[in-house]
Amino acid sequence: MPATKQTDQVCCPSVIDAPLSEAEAADLARVLGALADPVRLRLLSLVAAQEEICSCELEAPLAKSQPTVSHHTKVLAAAGLLVGEKRGRWMWWRVDPARLAAVRTALGG
Amino acid sequence: MPATKQTDQVCCPSVIDAPLSEAEAADLARVLGALADPVRLRLLSLVAAQEEICSCELEAPLAKSQPTVSHHTKVLAAAGLLVGEKRGRWMWWRVDPARLAAVRTALGG
DNA sequence: CGTATAGATCGATATCTGTCAATGTACGAG
DNA sequence: CTCGTACATTGACAGATATCGATCTATACG
């Protein structure tokens, strides 16, 4: 058996460092699951391309129905990747860059 | 409408740069889907903790049946995250660090 | 007030996915 | 060649998920 190579890291457990605990793996899998959908990835990139964007401007470029868009924004927001603010009748969405950076770090960044 | 902020990048389309095409989003979603499972994340971290590891050594720490482990290694290999080599009766797995780095880049690295 | 609009939620449906028992395949030991 | 082991594949099943039409909620405007 080859020798074990393992690095200790206090913050932000990474996949390529110490073996993940079940809880850490479940948390990371939840965020990655939110990202693992082509519609949500395009949605995220559309939001990131602007400072802010409202839900009503997502249906057309994504070619999805209003309930479907609402579903995807909800999933991304639950994962902490999108932050929403309701102003008047409109829901405005922003990307949380720190959250995305945390995912990269967990992937061995 | 706030102004558009957009950066051009030749290589490795990133979620936070130009809006992803449907094809780019589908590709990225496929790899992220491979990562979006707690068992596969722990499997990956187990492989990464060693230079190499054989399938038979994964069942116990993952507490999954042999067919299930085989299924997960296949998914990770199909995503390019794991590279397998059969030597004798054993299947040896390694992590492809470049592939993982590509995912980080696609996530705005 | 009533009406129109943005969005969330519900219900139904089709598809995908994780899991394991059973079975198949390939390889080494004797 | 025969037997046991390591792994892959198949089939079945339960649970999750993406999607949309219909409906509900909240807000703005007369």
- Indicate which CATH number applies to the domain containing B77: 1.10.10.10
Number of domains in chain A: 1
Cα dihedral A52, A77, A45, B38 in deg (nearest 10): 160
- Give the CA-to-C1' distance from A67 to C12 in angstroms: 14
Chain B touched by A103 (CB under 8 Å): yes
Chain B touched by A101 (CB under 8 Å): yes
**Inside any domain, residue B15:** no
Q: What tokens appear for B39 in the block?
A: 């068992």
Tell me the per-residue pLDDT of A5-56, one tens digit each, with 9 for 90 and over: 333 334 568 998 878 999 999 999 999 999 999 999 999 999 999 999 999 9
pLDDT score for A9: 37
pLDDT exceeds cutoff 70 at B31: yes
**Inside any domain, residue A97:** yes
Of B29, B49, B52, the CB nearest to A41: B29
Residue type, A4: T
Residue B2 DSSP code: P
Which domain does A69 fall in, by range?
22-106
**Inside any domain, residue A2:** no
pLDDT score for A19: 86
The distance of Cα B44 from the centroid of its chain, to the nearest Å, equals: 8
CB contact under 8 A, B38 and A22: yes
Tell me the per-residue pLDDT of B15-29, one tens digit each, with 9 for 90 and over: 988 789 999 999 999
